[in-house]
A and B are shown apart, each in its own frame.
Chain A
Amino acid sequence: MQKNTRMKREMSMLLSNPPHGISCWSKGDTLEQLEAQILGADDTPYHGGVFKLEIHIPDRYPFEPPKVRFITPIYHPNIDNAGRICLDSLKMPPKGNWTPALNLSTLLTTVQQLMAEPNPDDPLMTDIANEFRYKKAQFETKAKDWTTKHAMQKKDETVSKSADSSSDDSLSDDDNDPRVTNLKRSFGECSETNVHAKRSKENITS
């Protein structure tokens, strides 16, 4: 019952007073599936990109954190191919530090902050984390490339069509990506990630 009263309040707060560079709305009629967009901040490799996220509000919200996932692919040490985010605020104590004092607005702001300041000490993608730490220039170029490729809003419709037809190309491109090689390495022990990766790939192409 807390979920309903709280979500109604939160949605009206998000509508009337959204945090800077963030928008959030409900996908259907229910307040369970939400979608959000975060604008890549200036002075970050994500500048100019619009990153779409998917939010699931669990039944026990706000006693449990919402599940937040990137839909737009993003090159980031703390976000994996499936869009999952490694963020303390998104986990229950004792592992994480979710509290009902947080809400969608503060969470999305934290995600925005994480985009601007990756945390290579607690990485989800070790290769990207190492790259971020030791080859910053290379990391920034790749992150910018990904932003241009996936997060820029298309200027006209034909672009999306060409993206469809060139899906095979993008696959071969990814072979050179450290995150894909990383994925291949861990294929045996983490098949679930692979499934998600495939799904996220579908998302990219569709």
Chain B
Amino acid sequence: MEMLKSHSLLVVKNSDCTEYEGLLSVLGQHFHVRIVLNAPGELKGALIESEWRMRHLLDGYRAIIHQRFEQCESVGSFLLELQHILESQLDTKVKKSCQPGSALPKYYEGLLSDLNDLGWERVTAIDPSFSRLTLEAEDEAQRKHCIKLEIPQNYPDVVPTFTHEMPCDFSLHWTPSSCLADIFHQFRNQLALFQEFWDAMDEIDSKVWVLEPEQPTRSCCARRIALGQSASLQMEVLPLHPKHLPSCLFLGADHVTDPLRENFNQNIQRWDHTQSLLSNLETILQMTFPSPCTTSKEDVTVSCGICYAYRLEDQLPDQQCEDKRCAQPFHASCLYEWLRSMPDHRQSFNIIFGQCPYCSQPITVKMPPR
């Protein structure tokens, strides 16, 4: 009877006092439970039945419960023990749920109203937990740009992290009262800064043969342009000053690149900031670049003379026979492998001296890094 005072939601089901059924309240939650004893007042070997929520909580505690059955003197003290176990379990569960994964309604409310303000047509992707969004903006030239946002659990107190495809980093100006529309606005302002840069890059990508990267991203400032067979220009454009002279490197055999380098140095004063990057380059190099409209890729790329491929695990055939009549390009690793297997090769530090497999003229290659 004492027990029924502390657990008022439990009732005795029979006159022998061997069966109890009712609700057990723990931290404001009620669990349906039924206990069957072997004999009145005898807790040893008793049976406890409960709903799945409670069973789930007690998962892994079966041994302890049986121990409690053995130790406890009355049903009341057992129920107290059970309550303690459930309480501690519920506690840890609540703590876990505060971590990312299952967010609070407030978070979603804030986010949804933000998204409504922003306009759903700007959202291109969203993940099921609503924590990763992709927004898309169009710039003046109808180029599409994406920004990927990761919304923190305590949004909007903490600034969302983001990734974008812009050549320069930018930081968000953020206050707890800011919303997604603010981010979007700042993102568009940033895009406006690079209009000239993307215009210049688009011109290059469409009008000349770009050897590298194969599929340039919007953030990529480097381009390797084909100048002709086995000669190319590696340049790095300044994203904020795309009409300025970019840093240029000439790749290829000396007899092809030397005259170009000479032109470049002689005409460098003729660089005109009002002209486009491409036309400036053509002016100072005094040449027209091979264009995809008039030449095929095979005309500007010559595959390696050893493996017959152009691209070998991200390597390009940039080692070239110095003999002008041969000028056969090779991948460094292919040439190294062949020269090394020749009985008459010489090695000095990390440079191997041997003969071109095509024309037998002297050729050297640096040991590729392993």
A and B held together in a complex:
yes
Question: Is B342 touching A2 in the complex (CB atoms < 8 A)?
Answer: no
Spot the interface stretch: B148-156, B261-269, B308-316.
B308-316
The answer to whether B305 and A2 touch across the interface, beta carbons within 8 angstroms, is no
A26 to chain B, nearest CB (A): 16
| One of A94-102, A146-154, A172-180 at the interface | A94-102
Whether B191 is near chain A, meaning CB under 8 Å from some CB there, is no
Q: For the complex, give the distance between the alpha carbons of A65 and B153 in Å.
A: 64
Any A CB within 8 A of the CB of B28: no
B334 on the interface (CB 8 Å rule)? yes
A-B contact pairs, 12 of them (CB 8 A): A1-B312, A2-B337, A5-B309, A10-B308, A60-B341, A62-B306, A93-B342, A94-B343, A94-B344, A99-B338, A99-B357, A100-B334
**Number of residues on chain A facing chain B (CB within 8 A):** 16
Q: Inside 8 A of B338's CB, which chain A residues have their CB?
A: 63, 99-100
* A5, B343: Cβ atoms closer than 8 Å: no
* A9 in contact (CB, < 8 A): yes
Report if A5-B305 is in contact (Cβ < 8 Å); known contacts: A93-B342, A100-B338, A100-B357: no
Interface check B120, CB cutoff 8 A: no
Closest chain A residue, CB of each to CB of B337: A63
Q: Are B344 and A9 in contact (CB-based, < 8 A)?
A: no
Q: Establish whether residues B309 and A6, one from each chain, have CB atoms under 8 Å apart when the complex forms.
A: yes
Cα(A92)–Cα(B338), bound, Å:
11
* B312 and A5 within 8 A (CB): yes
Indicate whether A100 sits within 8 Å of B306 (C-beta atoms), given known contacts A63-B337, A63-B338, A94-B343.
yes
Contact yes or no, A63 B308, CB < 8 A: no
Report chain B residues within 8 Å CB of A100: 305-306, 334, 338, 357
Using a CB–CB cutoff of 8 Å, the interface residues on chain B facing chain A are: 303, 305-309, 312-313, 328, 334, 337-338, 341-344, 357-358
Q: Which residues of A are at the interface with B, using a C-beta cutoff of 8 A?
A: 1-2, 5-6, 9-10, 60, 62-64, 92-94, 99-101
Contacts A2-B312, A63-B338 given; indicate if A101 touches B307 (C-beta within 8 A).
no
Say yes or no: B357 contacts A101, CB within 8 Å: yes
A122 to chain B minimum Cβ distance, whole angstroms, is 20
A2-B306, A100-B357 known; 12 new pairs, CB 8 Å cut-off, are A2-B309, A2-B334, A5-B307, A5-B308, A5-B312, A6-B308, A6-B309, A62-B306, A93-B343, A94-B344, A100-B306, A101-B305
| Complex: A93 Cα to B355 Cα, angstroms | 12
Complex Cα–Cα for A1 and B338 (A) = 14
* B339 vs chain A, min Cβ distance (A): 10
State in angstroms the CA–CA spacing of A127 and B216 once bound together: 66
Q: CA A92 – CA B340 in complex, angstroms?
A: 13
CB contacts (< 8 Å) of B308 on chain A: these are 5-6, 9-10
A62 touches B307 (CB 8 A): yes
Partner of B341, one of A6, A9, A10, A63: A63
Complex interface: chain B residues within 8 A of A64 (CB): 341
B residues in contact with A93, CB < 8 Å = 342-344
A5 to B317, CA, bound (A): 14
Contacts of A60 in B (CB 8 A): 341
What is the minimal beta-carbon distance from A15 to any residue of chain B, in angstroms?
Answer: 14
Residues of chain B within 8 A (CB-CB) of A10 are 308
Find the A residue at minimum CB distance from B311: A5
**Distance, CA A167 to CA B364, complexed state (A):** 57
